[in-house]
Amino acid sequence: MIDHLSRAVISDPEQNLAIEQKESDHILPDSKMTPLRFRKRTLHETKIRTHSTLTENVLSHKLQFDGRILSRNGRDACRELIGFFFTHDQSLTIYEYRQFGKNRTNVLPFIQKSIYNHQCGRRKGKQYRLGDFYVGATLTFFSSDHLSLPESIKENTLLKLRITNIDQIALDSLKTASVEQEDDIIIQETNDRLVFKAIQDVLKEKLHKRGVRILTGLGKYFQQLDKEGNGLLDKADFKQALKVFHLEVSEKDFESAWLILNDNGNGKVDYGEFKRGIIGEMNEYRKSYVRKAFMKLDFNKSGSVPIINIRKCYCAKKHSQVISGHSTEEEIKSSFLETLKVACSKSDEVSYGEFEDYYEGLSIGIVDDEDFVNILRTPWGI
């Protein structure tokens, strides 16, 4: 008897129904609101017969985590993923939770259980290990290895997943029994982070003053340069973009960053990765509220929201300027929409990437997490 749900079990309609019934009242909460370990999960807890010699005790040594897809495509960026890493064989598996209506949640295989390797970065080619799992870590897979993935994801060579939440108690327990040493790689990764931090520190003052305009402008500019629509640009494109937005970076710093980002040596880098490296990004707690707000607006799950819907849903009643009497609700709403429209490639709708760019820029000037979250909670009612 083991507690691992095989692909056959997950594919069984009766099993799916049981999972749906048990999960229907347990929609994924925000990472800081409810610790992952308190959530009721049925995945990998159903006992089934097996001819394997693996024992239930061995398979219980697993780490559970939540994740999201790094993508500017709204439908993909808002997918809710849950994964498991098994320490007995260093394998992992990932599922997608899908909500149908208000009371029905289904779970579908996303990444089949197997042993996987890093596909980029300093650890490229190395097998995933326990130390690779923490909030903010990025897992990479070749999309061509997973034929059941949505077509929008398979358009990209690499599927990149960001860990947004993790069972910290299980992680601490598993780490106690685990011995991992990769000192050389750890030193290299630390040096890489220092390279990016040095650049981010140089740009911090300019971004603090003009964060929203720069981030939304950069996003739009990169889209215009991306003639092939694959999200990849070359060194000259990035240098030109930094020049256009007056984000001066020394030649030495730029070359150091480029060597890290262009790890496959093909002369092309994903502009989302470039932006995250050079400018940085908000933490996963803040990002969870950005996604939550967008998902509330994108009730058709199309990946973009009509401007007219944003105007209807945006509530400025509790805005500090309105409360103080310095501005009217309509003035605040119009100002917000005007800034947002500048970032949009289409005049009548906002994509997830453009929505995220706006709040990414806003986040730069806000130190406290709760202050930022309240900026999202108040107008969107989340």
Q: Which amino acid is at 182?
A: E
- Give how far Cα 209 sits from Cα of 85, 204, 337, 363, Å: 42, 9, 20, 12
Predicted confidence band of residue 25 (pLDDT cuts 50, 70, 90): very low
Phi and psi torsions of 44, nearest 5°: 60, 25
Task: Report, as an integer, the average pLDDT of 188-213.
Answer: 92
Looking at the chain, list the stretches that DSSP marks H as alpha helix, in order from N- to C-terminal side. Answer: 7-11, 13-23, 56-59, 74-77, 151-154, 168-176, 183-225, 235-244, 251-261, 271-278, 284-297, 307-313, 320-323, 329-343, 352-364, 369-380
Quickly list DSSP for 38-63: GS---TT---B--S-S--HHHHT-EE
* CA dihedral sign of residues 236, 238, 244, 247: negative
Whether the pLDDT of residue 21 is over 70: the answer is no
Task: Report, as an integer, the average pLDDT of 211-233.
Answer: 91
Instruction: Identify the pLDDT of residue 126.
Output: 94
DSSP bridge partners of 100: 104
Measure the CA–CA gap between 83 and 23, rounded to whole angstroms. 16
Measure the CA–CA gap between 231 and 138, rounded to whole angstroms. 18
Phi and psi torsions of 67, nearest 5°: -150, 170
pLDDT in tens, 361-378: 999 989 999 999 999 999
Percent of the chain with pLDDT over 70: 82
Nearest to 224 by CA among 244, 248, 200: 244
Measure the CA–CA gap between 356 and 292, rounded to whole angstroms. 11
- Select the more confidently predicted residue: 350 or 50: 350
Predicted confidence band of residue 277 (pLDDT cuts 50, 70, 90): very high
Q: How many CB atoms lie within 10 A of CB 268?
A: 17
What are the CB-based long-range contacts (under 8 Å, 24+) for 206-214? 206/246, 206/247, 207/279, 207/361, 207/364, 208/364, 208/365, 211/360, 211/361, 211/362, 211/363, 211/364, 211/365, 212/339, 212/358, 212/361, 212/362, 213/339, 213/342, 213/361, 214/245, 214/247, 214/361
Instruction: Identify the pLDDT of residue 205.
Output: 84
Q: Which residues of 236-256 are buried (b: 16+ CB within 10 A; e: fewer)?
A: ebbeebbeebebebeeebbeb
pLDDT in tens, 1-12: 334 343 333 344
Nearest to 38 by CA among 47, 46, 26: 26
Whether the pLDDT of residue 259 is over 90: the answer is yes
DSSP bridge partners of 234: 268
Instruction: Identify the pLDDT of residue 89.
Output: 92
**Residue with tokens 């009612």, as numbered in its chain:** 381
- Select the more confidently predicted residue: 5 or 123: 123
pLDDT in tens, 312-335: 999 999 988 999 999 999 999 999
- Select the more confidently predicted residue: 286 or 38: 286
Predicted confidence band of residue 29 (pLDDT cuts 50, 70, 90): very low
Whether the pLDDT of residue 251 is over 50: the answer is yes
Predicted confidence band of residue 45 (pLDDT cuts 50, 70, 90): low
CB-based contacts of 234: which residues, under 8 Å, 6+ apart?
A: 267, 268, 269
Measure the CA–CA gap between 227 and 154, rounded to whole angstroms. 19
Instruction: Identify the pLDDT of residue 57.
Output: 65
Task: Report, as an integer, the average pLDDT of 38-44.
Answer: 53
Nearest to 65 by CA among 7, 137, 4: 137
The domains found in the chain, sorted by start residue, are: 49-179 (2.30.29.170), 183-277 (1.10.238.10), 282-378 (1.10.238.10)
DSSP bridge partners of 345: none
CA 128 to chain centre: 19
DSSP bridge partners of 372: none
Measure the CA–CA gap between 302 and 231, rounded to whole angstroms. 19
Task: Report, as an integer, the average pLDDT of 17-33.
Answer: 40
Whether the pLDDT of residue 211 is over 70: the answer is yes
Predicted confidence band of residue 36 (pLDDT cuts 50, 70, 90): low
Whether the pLDDT of residue 276 is over 50: the answer is yes
pLDDT in tens, 163-190: 999 999 999 999 886 666 667 888 999 9
* Average pLDDT value for the chain: 85
Instruction: Identify the pLDDT of residue 299.
Output: 85
Contact 145, 184 (CB under 8 A): no
Looking at 95-182, list the stretches that DSSP marks H as alpha helix, in order from N- to C-terminal side. Answer: 151-154, 168-176
